[in-house]
Amino acid sequence: MEDEIIEKEVKTILVVDDEPSIRDLLKYNLGKEGYRIIEAGDGITGLNMALEEKPDIMLLDIMLPKLDGLSVCKRVKNSLNIPIIMLTAKAEEIDTILGLELGADDYITKPFSIRELAARVKANLRKVEVVSTSNKEADEVINDEKKKESKIVVGDLELDLDKFEVKVRGEIIDLTLREFEVLKFLASQPEQVVTRETLLEKVWGYEYFGDIRTVDVTVRRIREKIEKDTSIPKILITKRGVGYYIASN
């Protein structure tokens, strides 16, 4: 019985990369961390394996034969709510990965250190567990007063923490989970400037690893959805050289 419980707790990582050496490297090192590793060498196989196996997290190369990584990411996210970390050899592709409505949660550029990748895998899995716990707790809320406390309202911005829903001037805005978490963290402390490093640590869960460009691109995407004019933002404000904050007026 105890063995069965332990087995259920093992997290499965799907590695999709056309380079066998990278797959072997990740399988060996992440396997030592206690993860179950499954792998695919092309986009079609990776997509089918993701839908059939339903892994806990996916490491996905951009340049893949048969079906490119960005297309795989989009199709997987349409069916599964799992973290996807994109693997890219080009820093210029960062905006594409995080800027398009693909649902990618993170990226890491090649060559990468195994220690950094392992930290990112752990952080993304931890965020899923936190959200899952929050959802369970929200389901148990039956008191109207508690439900009121589950909302954050700052000016034209309203966040429903139970529904993971955002409204701006009464209109529902479609955000990714990561975008919602960033907005929630900032809105919970209006007018307080939060550094990019703090956001990276508190929202992404990276204490030592991570590129602050991830934060900048995510903030830009949020602005495109909630601001009337992104060149003159009124809700999500930049404090030049420091970070970001939510305006209360």
Domains of the chain by range and CATH? 2-131 (3.40.50.2300), 141-246 (1.10.10.10)
> Which tens digit of pLDDT belongs to each residue from 172-184?
998 888 889 899 9
> Which tens digit of pLDDT belongs to each residue from 40-76?
999 999 999 999 999 999 999 988 999 999 899 989 9
Q: What secondary structure letter does DSSP report for 195?
A: E
Q: What is the pLDDT of residue 126?
A: 83
Q: Decide: pTM greater than 0.75.
A: no
| Neighbour count for residue 208 (Cβ, 10 Å) | 9
Where do the DSSP E strands lie in the chain? 12-16, 36-40, 57-61, 84-88, 106-109, 151-154, 157-160, 165-168, 171-173, 194-195, 236-239, 243-246
Distance CA 236, CA 220 (A): 9
Distance of CA 5 to the CA centre of its chain: 27
